[in-house]
Structure formats: structure tokens, C-alpha cells
């Protein structure tokens, strides 16, 4: 089992840093199996408390998010220009409400959408604005225009 840690707050004090470390456990194959057994037994609607009881060390939120991000019909395929444009349009409409935006993208989880925006699209927007600070941003397919 892999374990990683990240700091919740930065500080120069070693004691403070030790207190603010949060250990994040990667999901094991056994936990995945228990999660799927729980889904089969209780379903995935409003039963996350019951499912979490089946998986020691996991809470309802962790179970729900892991299921939605890994098992819920998520498509792991390259992003299309249409999907990128949809993210840009819907973000302008909904802000950072990734769950709402993901409903417009078949087979993409809210986490996938958020990661796509912050990992690629935001960089492209920033790059475009640096090159043409007073211009109109053209999304990737150049058929839609958004004034920034």
C-alpha cells in the first residue's frame, strides 16, 4: 500500500509542520473490492454511510468520491476540442462548480473536469492573455469567442 503526505499549511516550525501533516492512503485492491461489494449490496444512492462501515479507515465522502472517480462509467480517453470548449463555456456560466459542469460532459467525473481546467485550459488562457493582453481569447477550435 502506498502512503503519501502533504502539508495543510506551510510554516518554518518543524513542530507545527508535524501537526499539520495529513496522511493520505492510496486505495488498495482489497478496499476497491469491498467498495464494489458495498455498491452491489446497497446501491450508490444515499448509502455511503453503510458502505463506509464495510471499509475500515474510510469515510462516506472518500467512498463516494473514489467510486465516482474510478468506477462510475468514467471514460479515460483523450480530451476533445468540443469538451474543452464545453468546459470553458460552462465555467463562465457556473464558475468552479465542477459537478454541475461535468453533467454536460458524458463520462467525465467532476474531478477530471477540474483537473483538465487547472492542468491545461487555464494555462492556455493565461498564455493567450500574456501574448495578447487586450485581445479577445479564442477557444481551442477558434469558433467560439469569450471576452476576458
Q: What's the pLDDT tens digit per position in 22-37?
A: 677 899 999 989 998 8
pLDDT over 90, % of the chain: 28
Neighbouring CB atoms inside 10 A of 63's CB total 26
- Superfamily holding 76-148: Homeodomain-like (1.10.10.60)
Q: How far is CA 92 from CA 49, 51, 60, 144, in A?
A: 34, 36, 31, 13
Q: What is the pLDDT of residues 97-123, one digit of tens each?
A: 988 898 898 878 788 899 889 988 887
Q: Looking at domain 3-71, which CATH architecture does it have? A: Orthogonal Bundle (1.10)
CATH 1.10.10.60 spans which residues of the chain?
3-71, 76-148
Q: How confident is the model at residue 74 (pLDDT cuts 50, 70, 90)?
A: low
Counting Cα atoms < 13 Å in the Cβ hemisphere of 3 gives 3
Q: What pLDDT does residue 5 have?
A: 37
**pTM of whole model > 0.85?**
no
Amino acid at each position: 500500500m502506498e502512503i503519501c503526505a502533504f502539508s495543510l499549511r506551510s510554516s518554518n516550525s518543524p513542530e507545527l509542520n508535524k501537526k499539520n501533516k495529513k496522511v493520505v492512503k492510496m486505495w488498495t485492491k482489497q478496499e476497491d473490492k469491498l467498495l464494489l461489494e458495498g455498491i452491489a449490496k446497497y446501491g450508490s444512492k444515499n448509502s455511503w454511510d453503510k458502505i463506509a462501515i464495510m471499509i475500515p479507515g474510510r469515510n462516506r465522502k472518500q467512498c463516494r468520491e473514489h467510486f465516482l472517480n474510478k468506477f462510475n462509467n468514467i471514460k479515460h480517453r483523450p480530451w476533445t476540442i468540443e469538451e474543452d470548449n464545453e468546459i470553458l463555456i460552462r465555467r463562465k456560466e457556473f464558475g468552479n462548480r465542477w459537478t454541475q459542469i461535468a453533467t454536460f460532459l458524458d463520462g467525465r467525473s467532476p474531478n477530471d473536469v477540474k483537473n483538465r481546467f487547472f492542468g491545461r485550459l487555464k494555462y492556455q488562457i493565461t498564455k493567450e492573455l500574456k501574448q495578447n493582453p487586450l485581445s479577445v481569447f479564442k477557444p481551442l477550435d477558434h469558433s467560439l469567442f469569450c471576452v476576458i
